[in-house]
């Protein structure tokens, strides 16, 4: 099931995506093409989502965006709801294969309606900003200055995370979650609360090493 769809999606993304995503070029492309997410620090995931919407949404191959449950909207729909995710692997650390995705409860509702939900995940390596934070300074300048979020971090004296300056795709991974295997997934933010005390909506934590999930890999 979905073999034909997976092959089509892989071929379209393999043809339509750059072999290496340069951070500055990718962010500038999103900005120039009216993406609302070009200011985000974790740009590879937003770039992948933006490109999937353009490539897979072309000629109505996939409906973009997908169905919405409460405040959670799936990125696309073709037979089932789909979400698009990018997963950077730090070459200096051991990758645990765990990826936070969409709302857990909302995914349960989608599964009730469509039988399963699918995740299209691109994995790859990234290089990180230099000690002078040249990439961060470039991005801040493009945004018009230091963001409110960044100023709050500085006031807290919290360390600044090093930005990814590129992304080099390795694999396109398809993961299918259904009523039988969703309970084997972890929950991300399950015990978190927002600053106003309201509990955060838990998200599915996919584990690419979970043998209870239906996982298909395509070398990019």
Tokens of 130: 């230099």
Which residues, 6+ apart, have CB-to-CB distance to 138 below 8 Å?
Answer: 24
Q: Are 83 and 117 in contact (CB under 8 A)?
A: yes
Looking at the structure, do residues 60 and 145 belong to the same domain, yes or no?
no
What pairing do the DSSP bridges indicate for beta strands 166-178 and 214-219?
A: antiparallel
Domain that holds residue 88: 3-128+165-219
Q: Identify the residue whose tokens are 């995940």.
A: 121
> Rounded to an integer, what distance in angstroms lies between the CA atom of residue 163 and that of residue 196?
29
Amino acid 194: pLDDT? 42
Looking at the structure, do residues 207 and 159 belong to the same domain, yes or no?
no
Q: How many CB atoms are located within 10 Å of the residue 150 CB?
A: 15
Looking at the structure, do residues 197 and 211 belong to the same domain, yes or no?
yes
Amino acid 27: pLDDT? 98
Looking at the structure, do residues 105 and 72 belong to the same domain, yes or no?
yes
Looking at the structure, do residues 141 and 171 belong to the same domain, yes or no?
no
Looking at the structure, do residues 67 and 103 belong to the same domain, yes or no?
yes
Residue 161 dihedral angles phi and psi, to the nearest 5°: -75, 140
Amino acid 135: pLDDT? 96
Q: Are 177 and 116 in contact (CB under 8 A)?
A: yes
Amino acid 37: pLDDT? 97
Chain mean position to CA 217: 17
Looking at the structure, do residues 158 and 170 belong to the same domain, yes or no?
no
Looking at the structure, do residues 158 and 173 belong to the same domain, yes or no?
no
Helix (H, G, I), strand (E, B) or coil at 81: strand
Looking at the structure, do residues 58 and 103 belong to the same domain, yes or no?
yes
Domain count along the chain? 2
Q: What is the CATH number of the domain that holds 203?
A: 3.40.210
Residues of the chain with pLDDT under 70: 1, 90-95, 146-160, 189-200
Looking at the structure, do residues 19 and 104 belong to the same domain, yes or no?
yes
> Rounded to an integer, what distance in angstroms lies between the CA atom of residue 23 and that of residue 48?
12
Q: Are 111 and 103 in contact (CB under 8 A)?
A: no
In the Cβ-directed half-sphere of 5, how many Cα atoms lie within 13 Å? 17
> Rounded to an integer, what distance in angstroms lies between the CA atom of residue 113 and that of residue 115?
6
Looking at the structure, do residues 60 and 121 belong to the same domain, yes or no?
yes
Q: Which of 163, 188, 211 is the last residue of a domain?
A: 163
Amino acid 190: pLDDT? 54
Looking at the structure, do residues 118 and 195 belong to the same domain, yes or no?
yes
Alpha-carbon dihedral sign for residues 97, 98, 99, 104: positive
Residues 131-165 pLDDT 10s: 999 999 999 999 997 656 555 645 555 556 789 99
> Rounded to an integer, what distance in angstroms lies between the CA atom of residue 10 and that of residue 151?
40
Q: Are 47 and 169 in contact (CB under 8 A)?
A: no
């Amino acid at each position: 099931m979905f073999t034909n769809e997976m092959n089509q999606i892989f071929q379209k993304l393999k043809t339509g995506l750059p072999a290496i995503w340069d951070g500055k070029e990718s962010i500038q492309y999103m900005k120039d093409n009216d993406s609302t997410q070009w200011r985000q620090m974790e740009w590879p995931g937003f770039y992948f989502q933006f490109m999937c919407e353009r490539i897979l949404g072309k000629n109505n191959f996939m409906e973009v965006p997908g169905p919405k449950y409460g405040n959670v909207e799936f990125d696309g729909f073709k037979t089932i709801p789909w979400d698009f995710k990018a997963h950077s692997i730090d070459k200096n650390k051991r990758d645990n294969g765990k990826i936070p995705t969409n709302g857990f409860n909302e995914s349960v509702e989608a599964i009730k309606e469509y039988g399963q939900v699918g995740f299209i995940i691109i994995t790859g390596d990234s290089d990180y900003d230099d000690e002078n934070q040249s990439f961060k300074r470039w991005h801040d300048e493009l945004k018009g200055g230091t963001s409110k979020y960044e100023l709050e971090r500085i006031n807290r004296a919290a360390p600044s995370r090093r930005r990814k300056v590129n992304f080099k795709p390795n694999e396109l991974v398809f993961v299918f979650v259904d009523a039988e295997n969703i309970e084997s997934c972890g929950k991300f933010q399950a015990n978190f609360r927002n600053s106003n005390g309201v509990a955060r909506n838990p998200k599915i934590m996919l584990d690419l090493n979970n043998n209870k999930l239906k996982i298909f890999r395509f070398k990019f």
